[in-house]
Structure 1
């Protein structure tokens, strides 16, 4: 790259390959049709018609295990019904974020009920696979919901009064802090500088992202719009840009509104051994984790099926402590 602040620009179809402490990010988009009474598609799904259709009736990912890392799920469109082997469950939707630390093992399912029978059910989410430190991989699994009503927004205007909206998912943007992350997350400690933003720029709006540490890894994913100027280099829609971290980065939207996923953080600097849904530090640890999973399934699955969903009328909510505590965002 001729620009010393831009290390690489990569076109993206589905998966964003990232660097420590991030593992990768999947950008899921599916154009689901009208739903039926069973919350599945009113018209039968053809083979491989959708990216995320692993359930028999309802789209989504039935019961499956994870250990050793974190999933950060940011929903842009559609609904997610969550169930896990900790006995927790919930429903979340557009603008909400779920942060799950899988620690020493958990099973969960993520189903995408099609609630609307009178119109199509477009679906879009980001799921970031985020690594854990060796010590955090040994801790109990945990999760936290970041409801859209709670997520801080920073609104800025450029000299021409063109607007930018920065949703602060993790870390801080200038003097605005994010909601606390789960306690056994690499992102929970401020010194790790794990900043995750969802940025919306009005047409031709300009915004400067402040520098972070020289040792951090930093990425800008331009996922909606026409063009985006990054340090005066024009970037096309659906491209991932790796950037110098210890420099201010100037952004300017093209003629259409631009949306950006911004990721940066200090590396964990530990070996990574990954096999399917398990992320540990060595092949020996992976072998031991798979043996433990075969013996224990990371706890009993307390739900009536591998792919449960809630009734259509269920509002957004989450449970914690094995279902003992319920949380409804409208009541917060």
Structure 2
């Protein structure tokens, strides 16, 4: 490629294949219709309004399943998610919220996507980033943290022409504005690892310059909404992933429509990766041992009445911790 700042540009349908410390990101977009009485879709999908049930039968989503050895960072753009896990924790989160789950030495959880509106469509969109852990972090107990939309820091930037850019700082910092702290046993928790995750919204024709990071970092920009985006002088089209040189400033310019970008960068962990389904460890032997341990223990008892539970339709957003003993609501966080 003629532009030395851009390493690759890749069209994206669903999965973004990334590099250390990131594993991959799934971008879910579903045009769910109005809900039935059971918080499932009232109508079948159409070519114009497609959606997936994933592994759900009544409510779409991912019923009870295990993870170990990495983190899931779930950024909801539209819709609702109900979380339940084998620690006895649960919660409901929604558009603008982020859940950061460290799976550590093993956890079972489910993520269901209840459709709450019976009088209008339930359009759904989220990113789930699979983010690796170091060998030491893989041994720690699992834990999760909610980052409520009311508390996620924003950086507002105005260009020379008065066009606005909004940057939600999910991890790391941008121009001195720091994110909410990450879970303790996360590669992203240490400032020296420079794990910066942003959701950027640029007005039509807005321009912004993203500061350089370290020369050893991984750096990606995923342009997921808009028409075109100028990236370091190269024209990029909607739903393309751009791998970028990390140690230079990157100039971005939106086209004739609002542009939205998921920005990912961070220092690599630099350890071997052995991945099999929902387990991410360092060697095949560790994977074999983890699967044997899971078959014997299921990473703890599943305390819920079904493998795909959901909360009542009227349940407000909340999270519970410490085996469900402590409850947190956005206004109390």
Corresponding residue for residue 35 of structure 1: 35
In the alignment, the residues of structure 2 paired with residue 116 and residue 124 of structure 1 have an alpha-carbon distance, to the nearest angstrom, of 15
Task: Give the CA deviation at 1:267.
Answer: 0.1
SS at match of 2:188: helix
Corresponding residue for residue 115 of structure 1: 116
Is the Cα–Cα contact under 8 Å of residues 203 and 257 in structure 1 kept in the other structure? yes
1:237-296 CA distance string (max 9 Å, x none): 000000000000000000100000000000000000000000000000000000000000
In the alignment, the residues of structure 1 paired with residue 45 and residue 3 of structure 2 have an alpha-carbon distance, to the nearest angstrom, of 46
Number of residue equivalences: 330
Corresponding residue for residue 87 of structure 2: 86
In the alignment, the residues of structure 2 paired with residue 211 and residue 229 of structure 1 have an alpha-carbon distance, to the nearest angstrom, of 17
1:297-319 CA distance string (max 9 Å, x none): 00000000000000000000000
In the alignment, the residues of structure 1 paired with residue 103 and residue 54 of structure 2 have an alpha-carbon distance, to the nearest angstrom, of 23
Corresponding residue for residue 242 of structure 2: 241
1:52-86 CA distance string (max 9 Å, x none): 43112100000000000000000000000000001
Corresponding residue for residue 306 of structure 1: 307
In the alignment, the residues of structure 1 paired with residue 101 and residue 115 of structure 2 have an alpha-carbon distance, to the nearest angstrom, of 23
In the alignment, the residues of structure 1 paired with residue 239 and residue 4 of structure 2 have an alpha-carbon distance, to the nearest angstrom, of 22
In the alignment, the residues of structure 2 paired with residue 193 and residue 43 of structure 1 have an alpha-carbon distance, to the nearest angstrom, of 45
In the alignment, the residues of structure 2 paired with residue 52 and residue 67 of structure 1 have an alpha-carbon distance, to the nearest angstrom, of 24
Task: Give the CA deviation at 1:44.
Answer: 4.8
Q: Which runs of structure 2 are paired with 1:193-272 in the superposition (5 Å)?
A: 193-272=194-273
In the alignment, the residues of structure 1 paired with residue 43 and residue 31 of structure 2 have an alpha-carbon distance, to the nearest angstrom, of 13
Corresponding residue for residue 142 of structure 1: 143
In the alignment, the residues of structure 1 paired with residue 103 and residue 134 of structure 2 have an alpha-carbon distance, to the nearest angstrom, of 12
Q: Which runs of structure 2 are paired with 1:147-158 in the superposition (5 Å)?
A: 147-158=148-159
In the alignment, the residues of structure 1 paired with residue 237 and residue 56 of structure 2 have an alpha-carbon distance, to the nearest angstrom, of 34
Is the Cα–Cα contact under 8 Å of residues 28 and 51 in structure 1 kept in the other structure? no
Task: Give the CA deviation at 1:51.
Answer: 3.1
SS at match of 1:36: coil
Corresponding residue for residue 6 of structure 2: 6
In the alignment, the residues of structure 2 paired with residue 95 and residue 139 of structure 1 have an alpha-carbon distance, to the nearest angstrom, of 28
In the alignment, the residues of structure 1 paired with residue 44 and residue 306 of structure 2 have an alpha-carbon distance, to the nearest angstrom, of 21
In the alignment, the residues of structure 1 paired with residue 23 and residue 260 of structure 2 have an alpha-carbon distance, to the nearest angstrom, of 22
In the alignment, the residues of structure 1 paired with residue 65 and residue 45 of structure 2 have an alpha-carbon distance, to the nearest angstrom, of 22
In the alignment, the residues of structure 1 paired with residue 73 and residue 264 of structure 2 have an alpha-carbon distance, to the nearest angstrom, of 12
1:185-239 CA distance string (max 9 Å, x none): 0000000000000000001000000000000000000000000000111000000
Is the Cα–Cα contact under 8 Å of residues 64 and 307 in structure 2 kept in the other structure? yes
Task: Give the CA deviation at 1:41.
Answer: 1.2
Corresponding residue for residue 324 of structure 2: 323
In the alignment, the residues of structure 2 paired with residue 258 and residue 40 of structure 1 have an alpha-carbon distance, to the nearest angstrom, of 31
In the alignment, the residues of structure 2 paired with residue 45 and residue 61 of structure 1 have an alpha-carbon distance, to the nearest angstrom, of 18
In the alignment, the residues of structure 2 paired with residue 236 and residue 43 of structure 1 have an alpha-carbon distance, to the nearest angstrom, of 32
In the alignment, the residues of structure 1 paired with residue 10 and residue 256 of structure 2 have an alpha-carbon distance, to the nearest angstrom, of 22
SS at match of 1:294: helix
**Is residue 49 of structure 2 the alignment partner of residue 21 of structure 1?**
no
- Superposed CA RMSD in Å reads 1.0
Greater than 6 Å deviation, 4+ residue runs: none
Note the residue ranges of structure 1 that are not aligned, 5 or more in a row.
Answer: none
SS at match of 1:116: coil
SS at match of 1:260: strand
Corresponding residue for residue 187 of structure 2: 186
In the alignment, the residues of structure 1 paired with residue 292 and residue 330 of structure 2 have an alpha-carbon distance, to the nearest angstrom, of 39
TM-score, length basis structure 1: 0.98
Task: Give the CA deviation at 1:45.
Answer: 6.1
